[in-house]
Structure 1
Amino acid sequence: MPDQPTSYPGLPQSPPPSPLGHFPQPPPPAPLRVVVADDNPVVRAGLTALLSGRADIEVAAEASDGREAWEAAQRHRPDVVLLDVRMPGVDGISALPYLVQICPVVMLTYSRESEIVQEALRRGAGGYLVHGEFTADQLVAAVRDIKEGRAHFTPTAAGALLEQLRQAQPQQAARGGVDRLPDDLGNANAHAGGLPTASRVNAYAENLSQVQPDVGQSSSGWTGGRPAAVDRSRFQLSVREAEIMDLIASGMTNQQIAATCFISEKTVKNHINRIFAKLHSTSRSEAAAKWLGTAPSDTARGLR
């Protein structure tokens, strides 16, 4: 019979050793750290509230222009920077080449011009998201994926990128049509500068999948090739009011809106008063944040 352990009354007894041994639990992964850069304080607050509500994401700092974003990135060494395009002082496009040397950067903006999208990509942006073309969950998925090197583009940016890729492909130079197809069409070495061969088509498709891998993939929430837009029907704006609200969100003044819509400034002010009443807002920045889906109240309603 094996020896029994000696017991001493009054002393705490140690539990017998586990036959499987003791394996300590691994520590939880460090949260993904983000810097949010936008000159609109309401938009910044909304993004911070949205992202901070996720257990695996931490907003390390906020910035109101490109210089502040660079200083914050130098100080905090984040995993991702969310960067607006148009900001006073140092704009996002100017700061972008310096920021990407520190960490991945995704443009998060209402600037949808194809030239700006293409310039942002040339300067190293890891993705381009246009306000109003994504949901809160899709934004969070994009932030997580950008950290891992997977690009994200909302439809407007994806369209600009696709156009850039198309322009880069060799074009058929024939004028007035082609009488007949070449006999050797489809051979691997045929028509290097003419109609695309199978190998060139495959290479083009591969390039497109590398720069635009997540558009249309349901695993990250971007379904059907077109992310779901922010639900604005609840605001019940008329077509004209929605048009003016888009212009307000883009940063236009009343005078610029009047010139764009071919109406008087007084008419613009009347529209804005009705818009503010419907959006329950008292300022342009607050209305823009609600319209873009980044207001803190939107986050509290469950957009997270």
Structure 2
Amino acid sequence: MPHENTPPSVPLRVLVADDNPVVRAGLTALLTARADITVVAEAADGHTACAAAETHRPDVVLLDVRMPGMDGLSALPRLVRVAPVLMLTYSGEAEIVQEALRRGAAGYLVHGEFTADQLLTAVRDTGAGLAHFTATAAGAVRAQLRREPAGPPLPDGLGSATAYGESPPIPAQPPISAKPLSQLQPAVGQLTSGRSADRRPTAVDRSRFRLSAREAEIMDLIASGMTNQQIAAACFISEKTVKNHINRIFAKLHSTSRAEAAAKWLGTAPGSERAGDPR
């Protein structure tokens, strides 16, 4: 039994920053269900995240990369001055992972590559000063290390022999210079990821499909190229539930494949400009 004068443990305070309201709600529900974690604020963009961090002083920040206004990479330098930042995102491009680490990220998790329990462990460990990376991010870190210039010279005789008949090591290449997010990927802040209503093509009248809010959310994710497993992880639902939603979506869009449904949803299917014809 703890001593009667022992103060109660203080929950880990977390700020969740992601422009997808479904993802934010799912993360908040997952984290606050644990007695040792509490979500002190949510944010849908970098500006709001920075303001919330200054106000609430969290112990850990969960941060998406692609957000409207100020993206995650742009917000990172300000956020890391307040708390360790764990990137939690669909953006697994090596250049973005490496740039996030240069700007101070404490870890990097790519959606679809971790379980709920692994996420909880990563959040707790980030608060304790330990780093976590999913497979894609770890690969980007290894690639970066291979490209970094050599450090101080080794003592004489060490590291100079070729082992087991291998070829001599490839000379190190200069490190990648730090670049703003917009230069890492073409118009990265403008890409249509399908995860935010703000990014939908304005010319498409989607109300005619009569999808529910959840069905529209899932159709956005389908159009962005996600698998059922990734959609389930993003929405914190089972794959079976995802399949049930997709069956209803296909019926409403008069589609028999993901590609056909996505084309109609994005307005690229032949005749899709005719607002009265959902086929």
| Structure with max Cα Rg | 1
Q: Equivalents in 2 of 1:78, 1:283: separation in Å?
A: 33
What does residue 231 of structure 2 align with? 291
* Residues 196/145 of structure 1: CA separation in 2 closer, same or farther (3 Å cut): farther
Q: How many Å apart are 1:191 and its aligned residue? A: 7.2
The answer to whether 1:146 aligns with 2:146 is no
What does residue 16 of structure 2 align with? 36
Q: Equivalents in 1 of 2:81, 2:101: separation in Å?
A: 14
Q: How many Å apart are 1:105 and its aligned residue? A: 0.3
> What does the per-residue CA deviation read over 1:199-237, in whole Å, with 9 as the maximum and x for residues that have no partner?
xxxxxxxxxxxxxxxxxxxxxxxxxxxxxxxxxxxxxxx
> What does the per-residue CA deviation read over 1:102-134, in whole Å, with 9 as the maximum and x for residues that have no partner?
010011000011000000000000000000000
Q: How many Å apart are 1:189 and its aligned residue? A: 1.1
Structure with greater contact order relative to length (CA < 8 Å, sep ≥ 6): 1
What does residue 190 of structure 1 align with? 157
Q: Equivalents in 1 of 2:149, 2:12: separation in Å?
A: 38
> What are the ranges of 5 or more consecutive residues in structure 2 without an aligned counterpart?
164-192, 222-228, 242-279
Asked if 2 retains the 8 angstrom alpha-carbon contact of 1:110 and 1:249, the reply is: no
CA RMSD of aligned residues (A): 3.6
What does residue 200 of structure 1 align with? none
> What does the per-residue CA deviation read over 1:182-205, in whole Å, with 9 as the maximum and x for residues that have no partner?
xxxxx941377x6689xxxxxxxx
1:94-243, aligned counterparts within 5 Å? 94-168=74-148, 170=150, 188-190=155-157
1:18-29, aligned counterparts within 5 Å? 24-29=4-9
The answer to whether 1:59 aligns with 2:26 is no
Instruction: Give the AA of the match of 1:24.
Output: E
SS in structure 2 at match of 1:42:
helix
Asked if 1 retains the 8 angstrom alpha-carbon contact of 2:112 and 2:230, the reply is: no
What does residue 47 of structure 1 align with? 27
Q: Equivalents in 1 of 2:103, 2:155: separation in Å?
A: 34
* Residues 110/196 of structure 1: CA separation in 2 closer, same or farther (3 Å cut): farther
Q: How many Å apart are 1:254 and its aligned residue? A: 8.5
Asked if 2 retains the 8 angstrom alpha-carbon contact of 1:281 and 1:287, the reply is: no
* Residues 69/136 of structure 1: CA separation in 2 closer, same or farther (3 Å cut): same
What does residue 218 of structure 1 align with? none
> What are the ranges of 5 or more consecutive residues in structure 1 without an aligned counterpart?
1-22, 171-186, 198-246, 256-264
Asked if 1 retains the 8 angstrom alpha-carbon contact of 2:58 and 2:83, the reply is: yes
Percent identity (aligned): 56
> What does the per-residue CA deviation read over 1:242-271, in whole Å, with 9 as the maximum and x for residues that have no partner?
xxxxx65699x788xxxxxxxxx9xxx9xx
* Residues 165/296 of structure 1: CA separation in 2 closer, same or farther (3 Å cut): closer
Instruction: Give the AA of the match of 1:190.
Output: G
Q: Equivalents in 2 of 1:137, 1:76: separation in Å?
A: 25
SS in structure 2 at match of 1:128:
strand
Q: How many Å apart are 1:24 and its aligned residue? A: 1.9
* Residues 286/96 of structure 1: CA separation in 2 closer, same or farther (3 Å cut): farther
SS in structure 1 at match of 2:139:
helix
Q: How many Å apart are 1:141 and its aligned residue? A: 0.2
Instruction: Give the AA of the match of 1:107.
Output: M
SS in structure 2 at match of 1:152:
coil
SS in structure 1 at match of 2:69:
coil
What does residue 86 of structure 1 align with? 66
Q: Equivalents in 1 of 2:29, 2:138: separation in Å?
A: 27
- TM-score, normalised by the number of residues in structure 1: 0.56
Q: Equivalents in 2 of 1:196, 1:109: separation in Å?
A: 40
Instruction: Give the AA of the match of 2:85.
Output: V
SS in structure 1 at match of 2:6:
coil
Q: Equivalents in 2 of 1:100, 1:127: separation in Å?
A: 12
- TM-score, normalised by the number of residues in structure 2: 0.60
